């Protein structure tokens, strides 16, 4: 389960904000796990901006990034933008970071229940 910090440019402040959840292209078990993560993040931190792509009826973005192409369901979280001043405050906030850790733990528990009934 990779967590990355996003960037919209090179060296200048940008306007892009928020977190996003990524899975592979197509309808897979990863989509359900991705939606679980997105829902948990949205419930825990409703005031933190999120980025969504509902073009395939779920909130995740899709790409065949190498880190996602596995025989196992895979989800990647892009956590905020390091080149946006408001997002950088969120990234550096230890209270929010601790809440994120709790969400990730809950995500693992919930996704495991989904995958191993």
| Alpha-carbon span 111 to 30, nearest angstrom | 9
DSSP class of residue 76? E
What angle in degrees, to the nearest 10, is found between the helix axes of 94-115 and 29-44? 150
36, 110 contact by CB (below 8 A): yes
Mean pLDDT across the chain, nearest whole number? 94
In this prediction, residue 2 has a pLDDT band, given cuts at 50, 70 and 90, of confident
pTM for the complete prediction? 0.91
For residue range 50-81, list pLDDT tens digits in order: 999 999 889 999 999 999 998 889 999 999 99
**For strand 61-62 and strand 3-6, is the pairing parallel, antiparallel, or unpaired?**
unpaired
């Amino acid at each position: 389960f990779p967590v990355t910090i996003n960037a919209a440019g090179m060296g200048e402040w940008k306007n892009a904000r928020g977190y996003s959840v990524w899975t592979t292209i197509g309808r897979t078990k990863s989509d359900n796990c991705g939606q679980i993560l997105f829902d948990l993040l949205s419930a825990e931190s409703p005031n933190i901006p999120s980025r969504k792509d509902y073009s395939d009826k779920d909130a995740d973005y899709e790409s065949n990034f190498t880190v996602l192409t596995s025989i196992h369901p895979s989800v990647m979280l892009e956590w905020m933008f390091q080149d946006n001043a408001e997002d950088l405050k969120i990234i550096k906030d230890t209270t929010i970071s601790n809440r994120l850790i709790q969400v990730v733990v809950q995500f693992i528990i919930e996704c495991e229940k989904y995958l191993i009934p």
